[in-house]
Structure formats: C-alpha cells, structure tokens
Amino acid sequence: MKRPGDNDMEPVSYRIIRRPKRKTASIVIRSDNRIEVLAPPGMPAELIAGFVQDKRDWICRKLHFNREIRTAHVPKTYTAGEQFHLLGKPYTLQIRQGKRSVQHSEHHLLVSLPSPDPDTIHRQICRWYQQQADVHFNARSRFFAAIIGKHPASVGVKSYKSRWGSCHHDGRIYFNWRLIMAPEWVVDYVVVHELCHLQHANHSREFRDLVQSVFPACREATTWLKINGLALSL
C-alpha cells in the first residue's frame, strides 16, 4: 500500500495493481472507498505516486461522494416487516408457512414456504425478483425497440456485479435483475441505453444523442443510479 505525500489535504492509501497489457495508469475508486491504481508492469512507483498526487482533487471528490452522498447498501435480514422494492415501490414483507410462493399486493410482499427461515426466504425472493425482471425487461424492450427501430435478438437477465446491462454484437441484451428494484423511469433509461447500442456499439456523440432523443431524462437517471445503485441489492 502506498500513501501520497504528507502535504495532501486528505491523505489516502492506494493499492498498485500491475496489468501486463496496460500502457498507461488509471485510478479506480471502489464503492467502499478502496483506491486501486492500475498500472503498466514497468511504471516506477515514484511516477505512480506523482500521478496519484495530480489526481488528488478528483480522488477527494469521489471519496466525499461515496461517504456523504451515495446511499449505502443495508443488508436484509429477511424478517417480517422489512421493506422490499419493486419498480421503486416499497412492499412490506409478510411471511407464512405453506406452499412455496411469492405474491405481492398493493402494500405487501407475501412469502410462503414450508419451512421459512432467512436463507430460504432470501433464495425465494431472489428467484421472484429474477422472474419479475425477465418479464418486465422483455416488455419494455419490445416497447422501446419499436420506437428506436432496432430489435434485439434476445433479452435476458443476469447477476452482474458492476453493470446494469450489456449489449452483445450478435444482438443479445442482458440486464442486471437487481435493477427491477429501481423506479420504472430509471429502468426505462437502462433499457433505452442498451437498445441504442444495437445502433451504435460505443458511447460516441451519435450514441448519446440517440439515447437523449428517446429518453430525455437520461442525465437524471444516471445520477439516480450513481447515488442509489448500491442499495439495489439483497
């Protein structure tokens, strides 16, 4: 672990990770404020320290954002009365012994299991969320594909750790099923974002303009995800 100079306003520790194929250095700040510097194999440590020092203001802003603005993930206990969200709407968990099922009413998420305990409730709710996500993402993809004029080869859900969706060159699109907890308008943004990659397989000006034309609130949606994305977890 390395530490920038003592004159820094906010001293921070960082870990150097050498990557054989890298030509330049870059800084990654994890959600828990761990700082990693990805560097070429032969880059001297002194040069890396200077690079970190030059980026100190940016690092401090990111650390402040993670500590003071970003919504932290609070692990679930899977007990009655706990709140779960579907498309941004809160549902209060109810648990009962019975045939395996998950149902939601206007205000409640009802989980029935032969032997309800936190682990089995967790697995059952995760499966239910994945099913809800698959249905919803397919429906919204069909809706926006008709507007954009590009249709995916298939739409599915995956359990990504650090992305909300992906668009493959062969037209397959996948979404992070945890996104189904976000408000519907935020979900729509991610759907539009991935569908627009069928037209532009990059993040060029043309791509951004297309996303903006279909979903004008894209900046608000990306900000919402940056602030609240960590909370979309079980």
| pLDDT tens sequence across 165-222 | 999 999 999 999 999 999 999 999 999 999 999 999 999 999 999 999 999 999 999 9
Tens-digit pLDDT profile for residues 12-58? 789 999 999 899 999 998 878 889 999 999 999 999 999 999 998 88
User: pTM value?
Assistant: 0.78
Q: State how far Cα 223 lies from the chain centre.
A: 12
Residue whose structure tokens are 């409730």: 121
107: Cβ–Cβ under 8 A, 6 or more apart, which residues? Answer: 91, 92
- The full set of domain ranges for the chain reads 15-69, 83-231
Of the listed ranges 17-26, 128-137, 149-158, the least confidently predicted one is 17-26
Alpha-helix runs per DSSP H in the chain? 45-54, 56-64, 118-148, 184-196, 205-214, 218-228
Tell me the CATH number of domain 83-231, given options 1.10.287.3510, 3.30.2010.10, 1.10.10.10, 3.20.20.100: 3.30.2010.10
* 179-196 CB burial, b ≥16 within 10 A, e <16: bbbbeeebbbbbbbbbbb
In angstroms, the CA 151 to CA 172 distance is: 10
Q: Between residues 130 and 72, which one has the greater pLDDT?
A: 130
Q: Is 27 exposed, middle or buried (0-12, 13-18, 19+ CB in 10 A)?
A: middle
